[in-house]
Amino acid sequence: MRILHTSDWHIGRTLYGRKRYEEFEAFLAWLTETIQQNAIDALLVAGDIFDTSTPSNRAQEIYYRFLCRVAASSCRHVVVVAGNHDSPSFLNAPKELLKALDVHVVGSSTEDQEDEVLVLHNEQDVPELIVCAVPYLRDRDIRVAEAGESVEDKERKLIDGIRNHYATVAALAEQKRNELGVDIPVVAMGHLFTAGGQTVDDDGVRELYVGSLAHVTAGIFPECFNYLALGHLHVPQRVNGFETIRYSGSPLPMGFGEAKLQKSVCQVEFRSMAASVQLIDVPVFQKLERVKGGWDGISSRILDLSATGSQGWLEVIYDGIEFIGDLRERLEAAISGTQMEILRIKNNRIIDRVLGQIHAEETLDDLNVNDVFERCLAVHDVPENQRPELLRAYQEALSSLYEDDAQAE
């Protein structure tokens, strides 16, 4: 049997105001063709299908059109689990209808974890694969909050909750396999952050739990899993060097920090119970490039790109010695007549001159939510010794906001 593992599509995500629907459509058209060409039997999507819990109509259209195309292909099954960016209730709403297309959706953990253990059958109705389809586990799914508990107590409870959840679904999968009386692979899915996981700047990966907690180790996963398909981190990577525990990574670069990464999906082939993994490179549908340096280096690079007919989107970071007050005007003149577009300009020399204060050249795009809160604390002269506790309370409020399923009612 041959499966394809992908995740973190983030359909609907914008890049400094630019909509990227054409890229998402191009990727999913390529994915449909890849599924057909490689005779894929099951597609696993490990969370963050959409970028927000309230995806636009166009984002939804792209998603459902793709599912219809895959249902009409040689692929027998699609398994989709929710990520931390997805609305569980939104993904779950059409799940009964999608079952008719052999699309299995698990938007959230339920009281009966058997709902996450799926037995997939071939055309002859013979069981061929068991999938432990574990979605993003929200804090409230795996931990009971108690007054007065420390940060360490929270971390321990979160990791224990994740470990116990996977142990339960693994035991259910082995029980089902024994009842079926057939030796078929067990594949697990998940959307989480493993310890030592590689990220890059500007990738938009959001911390899952307050205070960067619950970066789990590979040791918490039961040994009965023949392959573990993970989502959340955007860099394709093995976990702790294990060939069969992997992040597929996002198929599109989510920011300029990812521009030079080779994106891929994971093709997993089972011969008997042994899994072999092959990465399939995803084409670049929209070229991104970060151009950084002094003015001579920047202008030279733009000239080189122009000579090749580049249609890239650029981020320009000026960190030269010379103070340039008209940087934007110079850059606009440099790309005039080309098909390139500058989406972001960061003038580090101006930022340095105002000694870290917000300047007209520095926008909210340059700051994350914690940066903004810390600036507010500084502006209001909050004493340093009070800031860590206030920041932790702020992060808890943010986490609660992120995990609130606005689509549930």
* Confidence (pLDDT) at 359: 46
Give 269: exposed, middle or buried? Use CB within 10 Å, 0-12, 13-18, 19+: middle
Domain spanning 287-364, CATH class: alpha beta
Question: 237-239 and 242-247 as β-strands: parallel, antiparallel, unpaired?
Answer: antiparallel
pTM summary value? 0.85
User: Where are the strands (E) in 65-167, listed by range?
Assistant: 77-81, 103-106, 117-121, 127-133
Residue closest to 233 by CA, chosen among 217, 219, 250: 250
Q: How many CA atoms lie within 13 A of 329 on its CB side?
A: 3
DSSP 321-377: SS--TTHHHHHHHHHTTSS-EEEEEEEHHHHHHTTT---TT--GGG--HHHHHHHHH
In whole angstroms, what is the distance from residue 49 CA to residue 86 CA? 7
Question: 42-46 and 77-81 as β-strands: parallel, antiparallel, unpaired?
Answer: parallel
* Confidence (pLDDT) at 288: 95
Kindly give the confidence (pLDDT) of every residue in the chain, 409 residues in length, as a single tens digit, with 9 standing for 90 and above. 999 999 999 999 999 989 999 999 999 999 999 999 999 999 999 999 999 999 999 999 999 999 999 999 989 999 999 999 999 999 999 999 999 999 999 999 988 889 999 999 998 999 999 999 999 998 877 777 666 667 777 778 888 889 999 999 999 999 999 999 899 999 999 999 887 778 777 666 666 554 445 577 888 999 999 999 999 999 999 998 899 999 999 999 999 989 999 999 999 999 888 899 999 999 999 999 999 999 999 999 999 999 999 999 999 999 888 888 888 999 999 999 999 999 999 887 665 554 444 444 555 556 667 777 777 777 777 788 777 777 777 766 666 665 665 665 5
* Confidence (pLDDT) at 279: 97
* Confidence (pLDDT) at 88: 93
What is the side-by-side order of every strand in the sheet holding 117-121?
117-121, 127-133, 186-191, 227-231, 242-247, 237-239
* Confidence (pLDDT) at 349: 67
* Confidence (pLDDT) at 404: 63
Secondary structure (3-state) at 284: coil
Residue closest to 7 by CA, chosen among 74, 82, 57, 73: 82
Residue closest to 3 by CA, chosen among 33, 55, 40: 40
Give the angle 214-220-224 at the CA atoms, nearest 5°. 145
* Confidence (pLDDT) at 355: 40
CB 244 within 8 A of CB 278: no
In whole angstroms, what is the distance from residue 71 CA to residue 335 CA? 44
Look up the CATH architecture of domain 2-281: 4-Layer Sandwich (3.60)
In whole angstroms, what is the distance from residue 275 CA to residue 229 CA? 12
